């Protein structure tokens, strides 16, 4: 652009030279300035959006910390709730109870979800049954959690004539399945077909190819899917209302009502007692912390697992 | 150690597309046979019928007789058995990304339940040496992931992986098309050395490669096999005009 | 519209140059026989002066053929064509050499009395150059049958050469004073017989190119 050709003499004498090259340069310069501006504008918008998302999260966490941290003491983690009116007490049984119910739910939901995902991705492509399964999963995903609770209530609680941890686990498991199924299917679809072919070409039977090659390659993504499902159901209250039902005392039996953290928080929060309100805030904080810790642990384990597999 | 393959009246379809039409040919044992032809002529489909990979596609179908020695591979054996005797190397190297070099090469054995460490070690070393890759990777066998090697090395590793299960036939679908000239040369030299132990079938776009590597060449066109003869005859004095047009590069 | 335009043009170029070379070689033979008939030494000079051009042309054609082999990876019929061109090129250069040899003999004979020898050299020459022309015609038209017919003419040329040998040997015994002229004529006859052999080679090369059949050295001892 610096080596301009000889300027053409303009008709009309010695007016300022308006050669084609000059015109282009100016237009290009204007265009360039506008694009620069647009670039910066969009960057700023993106940053603002990120801030807008992160700020509420941080704010919530900070507020919980503020309201609940003072109530966290050893007693909180070791004692069961005190009788009405008495100070002190803790939510130890709810924490343990949540852990038990979530473990139950995962043990039922994860295998079923992964199996369904494997079917959809590896065996059922194009088949009618696969389309039905996918449709069912999508519908289940959209069902309100309270309806899940009612379904588990009528299927299990009414049959057994009592509330139980087991029924709570079932309700939560059903809620986990659609997410795990869809994520597993999508992650398996990202496994390149070439490496499946490589395994088949070596004379590895199809089931073994699915397990040792497809699942293994897609495992980081599948684990993420399971974590997402876990995190979602960990905080669910409604399904547990008429299944686990809650329990003021220690309980480790699966066919008895059991306490759960979200449930207990709900009960305490709508109560008229300040003492219980205090415990509710602490409980909410603990719940968030539990989810964060478990998600982080799984992430670390999965990442190490990938590297291990590569060595 | 290799075995010959006889193909009689092989027809193959992808859905309604009649990809292979009445192919008859005999692939001699312990020789390299090249299959050439324009894109879409069916040579890859043909090769995939030889190790029953064709049928892994749900809309694929094949009829006819393919015999390995005396064995009819469609009637007398399962696909899994056949694929253990007929190995395959693909156009693009496809190492297992989550496995180390050692695990990749041993995968054919490991994934079939083999656990004896001593035998696995020996097999991995033997296969990597046969694939001319041992010297380059012997110190990083378990530390490096299979996908961290260069393209040429990955392809040689895939060859080692195929050799580790001790097949009788080795099918190579354009093995060097994604590689640079140096890697290509190494792989061609490899084929030359492997010929004495295995029967090799190589599909290639590159006629000069077919000429360098194979004793016999078959020319495919539009799903039919037009001519099959010794490579020097095909390239100096082909009997069919269509073969000559393809070889001299005169299309249209 | 076939592909490989550049290669096809190169092949056509190679063919043209070979035909130009053929023209030059044929002209050399014609001139040398004309010199024999008229004993005109200036025509001999023409033949000598035309020789370097033929040699230069031979080198050019060989270089072009070599380049095509290296750069274009010719196969099948193209490969046979280029190989034939290389061989025909060599034969044509030697035809040019024979023309020079004949012209040298004519110049030698110029020092001696001009007598009529009982040998029909011009007829032998016309037969030999007809063979060359026919072989090149077969090349132009890629006609293997025409090339085949050239092979059969070689016997005639050989017979005529043998007859000339016998006649001239007898003449030398009979009239020793005519020895120089007879010997030169004998050598000229032999040169023309060699030209016939080169024409045969050219015809065999054409058959190799067109049919892929290598029929060299199949005919009996000449």
Q: For B2-44, how does the pLDDT look when each residue is reduced to its tens digit (9 = 90+)?
A: 799 999 999 999 999 999 999 999 999 999 999 999 988 899 9
- Which of B82, B94, B111 is closest, CB to CB, to A204? B111
Residue of chain B whose Cα is closest to the Cα of C5: B250
pLDDT at B179: 85
What is the tens place of the pLDDT at every residue in A177-222? 999 999 999 999 999 999 999 999 999 999 999 999 999 999 988 9
Interface membership of C6 toward B (CB under 8 Å)? no
CB-CB under 8 Å, C75 with B248: yes
Interface membership of B252 toward C (CB under 8 Å)? yes
Tokens of C43: 């025509």
Arithmetic mean of pLDDT over chain B: 91
Tokens 């082999």: give the residue: C69
Residue C1 with chain B: CB contacts under 8 Å? 252
Residue of chain B whose Cα is closest to the Cα of C208: B237
Q: Is the pLDDT confidence value at B118 over 70?
A: yes
Residue of chain B whose Cα is closest to the Cα of A211: B111
Per mean pLDDT, which range of A153-167, A237-251, A297-311, C150-164 is the poorest?
Answer: A297-311
Residue A203 with chain B: CB contacts under 8 Å? 80-85, 108, 112, 165
CB-CB under 8 Å, C77 with B248: yes
Residue ranges of domains in chain C: 5-211
Residue-by-residue DSSP string for C127-177: HHHHHHHHHHHHHHHT-HHHHHHHHHHHHHHHHHHHHHHHHHHHHHHH-GG
Residue B98 with chain A: CB contacts under 8 Å? 216-217, 219, 306, 309-310
Tokens 């095909």: give the residue: B234
Interface membership of A199 toward B (CB under 8 Å)? yes
Listed ranges A87-91, B161-165, B248-252, C119-123; the one with the highest mean pLDDT: B161-165
Question: C113: helix, coil or strand?
Answer: coil
Per mean pLDDT, which range of A76-85, B171-180, B205-214, B223-232 is the poorest?
Answer: A76-85
Q: Is the pLDDT confidence value at A311 over 50?
A: no
Question: C110: helix, coil or strand?
Answer: coil
Tokens of C121: 């050299």
Size of interface B-C (CB pairs under 8 A): 36
Residue A198 with chain B: CB contacts under 8 Å? 90, 94-96, 158, 161
> Mind telling me how many Å the CA of B36 is from chain A's nearest CA?
22
Residue B207 with chain C: CB contacts under 8 Å? 75
Q: Do chains A and B touch (3 or more CB pairs under 8 A)?
A: yes
A260 touches A68 (CB < 8 A): no
Q: Is the pLDDT confidence value at A86 over 80?
A: no
pLDDT at A292: 85
Residue A245 per-residue DSSP state: B
- State the chains in contact with A (3 or more Cβ–Cβ pairs under 8 Å): B
Q: How confident is the model at residue B106 (pLDDT cuts 50, 70, 90)?
A: very high
pLDDT at B252: 61
pLDDT at B181: 86
Q: How far is CA A55 from CA A44, A63, B3, in A?
A: 16, 12, 70
Q: How confident is the model at residue A87 (pLDDT cuts 50, 70, 90)?
A: confident
Alpha helices of A83-203 — where are they, by DSSP H? Answer: 92-118, 128-142, 145-152, 158-160, 165-190, 193-201
Q: Averaged over B231-242, what is the pLDDT?
A: 91
**HEC secondary structure over chain B:** CCCCEEEEEEEEEECCEEEEEEEEEEECCCCEEEEECCCCCCHHHHHHHHCCCHHHCCCEEEEEEEEECCEECCCCCCHHHHHHHEEEECCCCCCCCCCEHHHHHHHHHHCCCCCCHHHHHHHHHHHHHHCCCHHHHCCCCCCCEHHHCCHHHHHHHHHHHHHHCCCCEEEEECCCCCCCHHHHHHHHHHHHHHCCCCEEEEECCCHHHHHHHCCEEEEEECCEEEEEEEHHHHHHCCCCHHHHHHHCCCCC
* CATH 3.40.50.150 is held by the domain B5-99+169-247: no
ipTM for the complex shown: 0.91
pLDDT at A309: 43
Phi, psi angles (nearest 5°) of residue B139: -90, -15
pLDDT at C53: 95
Q: How confident is the model at residue A18 (pLDDT cuts 50, 70, 90)?
A: low
C129 touches C197 (CB < 8 A): no
Q: Is the pLDDT confidence value at A308 over 50?
A: no
Q: How confident is the model at residue A173 (pLDDT cuts 50, 70, 90)?
A: very high
CA atoms of B117 and B110, how far apart (whole Å): 10
pLDDT at A310: 39
Q: Do chains A and C touch (3 or more CB pairs under 8 A)?
A: no
Please give the CATH topology (third level) of the domain spanning A74-310.
MetI-like fold (1.10.3720)
Q: Comparing B46 with B1, which gets the higher pLDDT?
A: B46
pLDDT at C154: 93
Residue B88 with chain A: CB contacts under 8 Å? 201
Q: How confident is the model at residue A6 (pLDDT cuts 50, 70, 90)?
A: low
pLDDT at B2: 79
Which residues lie below 8 Å from residue C219, measured CB to CB, with a gap of 6+? C151, C154, C200
B26 touches B46 (CB < 8 A): no
The region, left, alpha or beta by phi > 0 then psi within -120 to 50, assigned to residue B63 is: beta
Tokens of B115: 């656990």
- State the chains in contact with B (3 or more Cβ–Cβ pairs under 8 Å): A, C
Residue C68 with chain B: CB contacts under 8 Å? none
Interface membership of A202 toward B (CB under 8 Å)? yes
Segments in chain C below pLDDT 70: 1, 218-222
Q: How confident is the model at residue B53 (pLDDT cuts 50, 70, 90)?
A: very high
Q: Averaged over A234-258, what is the pLDDT?
A: 86
Tokens of C214: 């290598």
Q: What's the CATH number for C5-211? A: 1.20.58.220
């Amino acid at each position: 652009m610096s080596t301009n050709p000889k300027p053409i003499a303009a008709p009309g004498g010695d007016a300022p030279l308006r050669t084609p090259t000059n015109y282009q340069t100016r237009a290009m310069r204007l265009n360039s300035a506008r694009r620069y501006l647009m670039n910066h504008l969009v960057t700023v918008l993106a940053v603002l959006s990120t801030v807008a998302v992160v700020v509420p999260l941080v704010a919530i966490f900070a507020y919980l910390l503020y309201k609940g941290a003072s109530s966290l003491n050893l007693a909180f983690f070791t004692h069961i709730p005190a009788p009405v009116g008495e100070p002190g007490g803790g939510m130890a049984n709810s924490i343990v109870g949540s852990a038990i119910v979530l473990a139950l739910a995962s043990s039922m939901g994860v295998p079923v979800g992964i199996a369904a995902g494997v079917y959809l991705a590896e065996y059922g492509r194009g088949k009618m049954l696969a389309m039905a399964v996918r449709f069912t999963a999508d519908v289940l995903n959209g069902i309100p959690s309270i309806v899940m609770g009612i379904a588990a209530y009528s299927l299990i609680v009414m049959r057994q004539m009592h509330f139980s941890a087991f029924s709570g686990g079932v309700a939560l498991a059903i809620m986990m399945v659609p997410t795990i199924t869809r994520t597993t299917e999508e992650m398996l679809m990202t496994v390149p077909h070439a490496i499946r072919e490589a395994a088949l070409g070596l004379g590895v039977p199809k089931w073994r190819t699915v397990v040792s090659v497809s699942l293994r390659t897609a495992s980081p993504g599948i684990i993420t899917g399971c974590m997402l499902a876990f995190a979602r159901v960990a905080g669910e209250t409604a399904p547990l209302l008429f299944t686990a039902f809650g329990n003021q005392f220690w309980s480790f039996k699966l066919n008895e009502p059991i306490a759960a953290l979200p449930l207990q928080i709900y009960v305490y929060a709508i109560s008229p007692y300040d003492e219980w309100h205090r415990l509710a805030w602490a409980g909410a904080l603990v719940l968030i912390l539990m989810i964060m810790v478990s998600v982080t642990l799984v992430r670390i384990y999965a990442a190490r697992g990938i590297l291990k597999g590569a060595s | 150690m290799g075995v010959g393959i006889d193909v009689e009246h092989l027809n193959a379809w992808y859905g309604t597309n009649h990809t292979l039409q009445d192919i008859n040919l005999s692939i001699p044992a312990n020789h390299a046979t090249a299959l050439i032809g324009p894109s879409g002529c069916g040579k890859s489909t043909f090769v995939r019928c030889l190790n029953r990979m064709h049928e892994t596609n749900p809309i694929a179908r094949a009829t006819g007789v393919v015999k390995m020695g005396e064995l009819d591979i469609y009637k007398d054996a399962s696909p899994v058995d056949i694929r253990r005797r007929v190995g395959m190397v693909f156009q693009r190297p496809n190492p297992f990304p989550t496995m180390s070099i050692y695990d990749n090469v041993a995968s054919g054995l490991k994934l079939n339940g083999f656990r004896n460490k001593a035998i696995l070690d020996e097999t991995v070393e033997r296969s990597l040496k046969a694939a001319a890759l041992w010297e380059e990777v012997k110190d990083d066998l378990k530390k490096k992931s299979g996908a961290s090697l260069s393209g040429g090395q990955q392809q040689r590793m895939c060859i080692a992986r195929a050799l580790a299960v001790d097949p009788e036939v080795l099918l190579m679908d354009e093995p060097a098309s994604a590689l640079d000239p140096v890697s290509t040369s190494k792989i061609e030299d490899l084929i030359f050395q492997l010929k004495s132990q295995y029967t090799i079938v190589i599909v290639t776009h590159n006629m000069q490669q077919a000429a360098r590597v194979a004793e016999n060449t078959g020319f495919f066109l539009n799903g039919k096999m037009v001519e099959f003869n010794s490579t020097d005859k095909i390239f100096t004095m082909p009997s069919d005009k269509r073969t000559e047009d393809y070889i001299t590069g005169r299309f249209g | 519209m076939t592909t490989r335009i550049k290669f096809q043009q190169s092949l056509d170029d190679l063919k043209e140059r070979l035909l130009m070379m053929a023209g030059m070689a044929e002209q050399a033979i014609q001139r040398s026989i004309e010199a024999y008939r008229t004993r005109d030494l200036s025509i001999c000079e023409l033949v000598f002066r035309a020789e370097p051009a033929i040699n230069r042309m031979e080198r050019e054609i060989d270089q072009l053929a070599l380049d095509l082999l290296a750069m274009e990876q010719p196969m099948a019929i193209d490969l046979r064509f280029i190989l034939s061109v290389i061989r025909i090129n060599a034969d044509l250069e030697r035809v040019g050499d024979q023309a020079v040899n004949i012209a040298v003999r004519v110049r030698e004979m110029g020092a001696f009395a001009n007598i009529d020898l009982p040998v029909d050299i011009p007829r032998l020459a016309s037969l030999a150059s007809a063979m060359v022309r026919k072989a090149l015609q077969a090349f132009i038209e890629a006609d293997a049958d025409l090339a085949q017919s050239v092979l059969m003419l070689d016997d005639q040329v050989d017979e005529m050469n043998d007859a000339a040998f016998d006649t001239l040997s007898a003449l030398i015994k009979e009239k020793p004073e005519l020895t120089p002229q007879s010997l030169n004529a004998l050598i000229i006859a032999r040169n023309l017989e060699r030209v016939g052999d080169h024409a045969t080679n050219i015809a065999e090369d054409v058959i190799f190119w067109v049919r892929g059949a290598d029929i060299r050295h199949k005919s009996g001892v000449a």
